[in-house]
Chains A and B, each alone.
Chain A
């Protein structure tokens, strides 16, 4: 069953003399109990996409398209209705938990606030449920920790508290935006295992955003590869990581050094830098860096098509329709 369906999402930012398209015609869905991973580098629009689902974008962003959550278009409902969904039905795990929590309030205050807002519970009940949740994510002495401030938690513990906060209202969808970036590898493993365990046991739907391909291959059922606001490839972990088709996906995977990489071997690197949104004109966004570019790619933007069942790619090199495009128009 589909929980979230995004159709033709386009997000434009107005600057003083220009408008930049940060997310360009993106469509995807998240099924119940499924984890969809979004991979992309800086500027790919992965965070912007997730903020648009929560309707948390700054006011200079123009959003078009549709975001259906349980059949309701989140872009059309009133702010009051959105208030009831945001934080209750859809919650978020942020990248930097130390800055995401308010340093002036205790963890307990911040947990209780969420419950007071969404569930109309008594103070005692809120405390009981918060402590239960802290216990669930493996925080030792939760009764004592409830009264502590964020700075009294260690890095791994505060990220676990962040996860507990996101799960407090039994949401249907959790968006995790780089939840383990900046954590030590050992703590990262703990946090990933915790998220996976909770996701399984309560049949949560998740959007997991990261730039780490190893992490995404561990966490996701399906993967979306974003580049400068466009979807380049979508499919199961097997399809996207092990039989990737798009030259960008292939390049990303090849450029990560693994334990098996030998010292004498040169790492693959995608030539050039990610261009800025201002530099994009017509044609494929990867054109300037692509090792297999062709004439057609320069002026014609490739469309996402079904390469094999469930595996979508947007690249002219494999697109059977490319002969239909007249390049001399």
Chain B
């Protein structure tokens, strides 16, 4: 029942920093530095983190837009396993789709909507006649709350919410199994955001999809995902069921993120939380990456990078919960 649809195995994505006329490599930005994720069919995953945490890079590697430096992304399609970094048959490739953050730059302004939407369908030769294809696309547009005649308009004639609906049509027109959504609502107005989120939920049920939802908004992450993955500087710091993670966050970084959510309420706590800023991904701190901002940082945190380990049903990468801490304190005393 719970078959893995995507298995990410020790994924690493490094971007070289080049300088000078010969473009020598001066070092690497470690956007993703060794992560493992298993995604089951129909189990939606939300990925949260600050900018620079590598969440977008993760999404792009999942659809094969970025080649990993190390590790593998294995994708299960119709009972066969494929490596996403290799050249894949087109039907496999098209069964993982992506919806991008900025609906203003993700649609080609020179193409009519129909020209944007028909391209993948023509490549696959899925329809016998043009009329059939237009009918199909028209139907999809109506499904997301647009009109058939919108096919013949240009992107600039649409509002942000409408463009995001067009992006949704582009993604579902290939009948995918997985959709990676990279902050699809963060540039939308509040009232439009709720419309788009509801639409995404409906479509998920109808098409039997698995979502990987990337966002910086924890409330949205909880609403869209069964599981939440918290990333910090290219590593996973905590994975748990969405409800449990919100109710009882273990990692100090998850706790920090939750404490900074500004909710609608009459009394706001006045206490100043020490928040700090993430260090640059070029100079990652030794040991645990979060230790420079962590209120509980200990000696061991500078020496050893904590592995993800099970703690009360949650996977946490923190020395506060690892057994190693106890051993070391025993040794010291």
A residues lining the B interface (CB < 8 Å): 41-42, 154-157, 184-190, 192-193, 211-215, 217-218, 237-238, 241-242, 251-253, 255-259, 261, 263, 266-270, 273-274
Chain B 176-206: CB-based contact to A (< 8 A → 1; otherwise 0): 0000000000000111111101100100000
**Smallest CB separation, B102 vs chain A (Å):** 12
Closest CB-CB distance, B295 to chain A, in whole Å?
Answer: 14
Known pairs A238-B266, A256-B219 / 7 extra A-B pairs, C-beta < 8 Å: A156-B277, A212-B190, A214-B263, A217-B268, A218-B262, A257-B220, A263-B222
Across the interface, B191 reaches (CB within 8 A) one of A189, A190, A252, namely: A252
Within 8 Å CB of B216, what residues of A? 184-185
B50 touches A269 (CB 8 A): no
CB-based contact A212/B262 at 8 Å: yes
Cβ-defined contact, A193 with B272, below 8 A: yes
Task: Assess whether B226 is interfacial by the CB under 8 Å rule.
Answer: yes
CB nearest neighbor in A for B262? A214
Number of A-B contacts (CB under 8 A): 122
Which residue, A189, A238, A242, A259, has most C-beta atoms of chain B within 10 A? A259
The interface of chain B, by Cβ under 8 A from chain A, is: 50-51, 159-162, 189-195, 197-198, 201, 216-220, 222-223, 226, 242, 246, 256-266, 268, 272-273, 275, 277
Q: Can you report 29 A-B residue pairs in the complex whose CB atoms are below 8 A from each other?
A: A41-B192, A42-B160, A185-B216, A185-B217, A185-B218, A185-B262, A186-B256, A186-B277, A187-B50, A187-B277, A188-B260, A217-B266, A217-B268, A218-B262, A241-B264, A241-B266, A255-B191, A256-B190, A256-B194, A258-B263, A259-B219, A263-B242, A266-B198, A267-B194, A267-B197, A269-B191, A273-B159, A273-B162, A274-B189
Whether A259 pairs with B263 at a CB distance below 8 angstroms is yes
Given A186-B50, A269-B194, are A261 and B222 neighbors across the interface (CB < 8 Å)? yes
The answer to whether B50 touches A242, judged by C-beta atoms less than 8 angstroms apart, is: no
With both beta carbons as reference points, the residue of chain B lying nearest to A212 in the complex is identified as: B262
The residue in chain B whose Cβ has the minimal distance to the Cβ of A248 is: B191
- In whole angstroms, what is the CA distance A242 to B193 when docked? 21
B268 neighbours in A (Cβ, 8 Å): 217-218
**Which chain B residues lie closer than 8 Å to A257 at the CB level?**
194, 197, 219-220, 222-223
Query: Within 8 Å CB of A213, what residues of B?
Result: 190, 264
Instruction: With A185-B260, A273-B159 as known contacts, state yes or no: A211 contacts B277, CB within 8 Å.
Output: no
Q: How far is the CB of A227 from chain B (nearest CB, A)?
A: 10
Within the complex, the shortest CB–CB distance from B156 to chain A, in Å, comes to 14
Return chain A residues, CB-CB under 8 Å to B272: 193
Pairwise interchain contact B190-A252, C-beta atoms closer than 8 A: yes
Complex Cα distance, B323 from A320, in Å, reads 68
Q: Is A270 touching B264 in the complex (CB atoms < 8 A)?
A: no
Contact A154-B191, Cβ < 8 Å, known A184-B51, A186-B260, A241-B266: no
- The residues of B that contact A238 with a CB separation of less than 8 Å are 266
Structural contact, A42 and B189, CB atoms closer than 8 A: yes
- Supposing A42-B189, A255-B190, A267-B194 touch, asked if A186 and B275 sit within 8 A by C-beta, the answer is yes
Docked Cα-Cα span, A31 to B216, in Å, equals 35
Q: Which one of A42, A156, A267 lies within 8 Å of B223 (CB-CB)? A: A267
Q: Hey, which chain A residues are within 8 Å of B162, CB to CB?
A: 273
How far does the alpha carbon of A171 sit from the alpha carbon of B127 in the complex, in Å? 66
Task: Give Cα distance in the complex from A193 to B218, angstroms.
Answer: 20
CB distance from A269 to the nearest CB of B (A): 4
Asked if A155 contacts B261 (CB within 8 A), the reply is no
Q: Are A185 and B191 in contact (CB under 8 A)?
A: no
Chain B interface SS verdict (over half): helix
- Complex Cα gap A273–B201 (Å): 19
- A255 to chain B: which residues have CB within 8 Å? 190-191, 193-194
- CB contacts (< 8 Å) of B193 on chain A: these are 255
Q: Is the CB of A192 within 8 A of B192?
A: no
Contacts of B218 in A (CB 8 A): 185, 259
Complex Cα spacing A274 to B262, Å: 25
Residues of B within 8 A of A251 (CB): 191
With contacts A186-B275, A189-B273, A218-B268 taken as known, whether A259 is within 8 angstroms of B261 at the C-beta atoms is yes
Give the top 4 A-B pairs by smallest Cβ distance, nearest first.
Answer: A255-B194, A189-B260, A214-B262, A269-B194
Report yes or no: B275 in contact with A273, Cβ–Cβ below 8 A: no
A3 to B266, CA, bound (A): 25
Q: Do A242 and B266 touch (CB < 8 A)?
A: yes
- Cross-chain contact B260 with A268 (CB below 8 angstroms): no
A47 CB to nearest B CB, Å: 14
Tell which of B191, B258, B273 has the most Cβ of chain A within 10 Å. B191
Query: Are A253 and B264 within 8 A (Cβ)?
Result: yes
Q: Return chain B residues, CB-CB under 8 Å to A188.
A: 260, 262
Residues of A within 8 A of B198 (CB): 266-267, 269
Q: Which residue of A lies closest to B189 (CB)?
A: A41
Alpha-carbon distance A274/B160, docked complex (angstroms): 11
> In the complex, which residue of chain B has the Cβ closest to the Cβ of A40?
B189
Distance in angstroms from A170 CB to nearest chain B CB is 24
With the chains together, A185 CA to B261 CA distance in Å?
Answer: 7
* Chain A residues, Cβ within 8 Å of B223: 257, 261, 263, 267
A252–B193 Cα distance when bound, in Å, is 11
> Is the Cβ of A261 less than 8 Å from the Cβ of B275?
no
Which of chain B's residues have a CB closer than 8 A to the CB of A185? Answer: 50, 216-218, 257, 260-262
Query: Which residues of the partner chain B approach A274 to less than 8 Å between Cβ atoms?
Result: 159, 189, 191
Cross-chain contact of A217 among B194, B256, B264 (Cβ < 8 A): B264
Residues of A within 8 A of B257 (CB): 185-186
Bound form: Cα–Cα A20–B294 in Å: 53
Inter-chain CA distance A189–B258, complex, in Å, is 11
Chain A nearest Cβ from B301, distance in angstroms: 19
Q: How far is the CA of A260 from the CA of B273 in the complex (A)?
A: 22
* CB-based contact B50/A256 at 8 Å: no
Contact status B50-A184, CB under 8 Å: yes
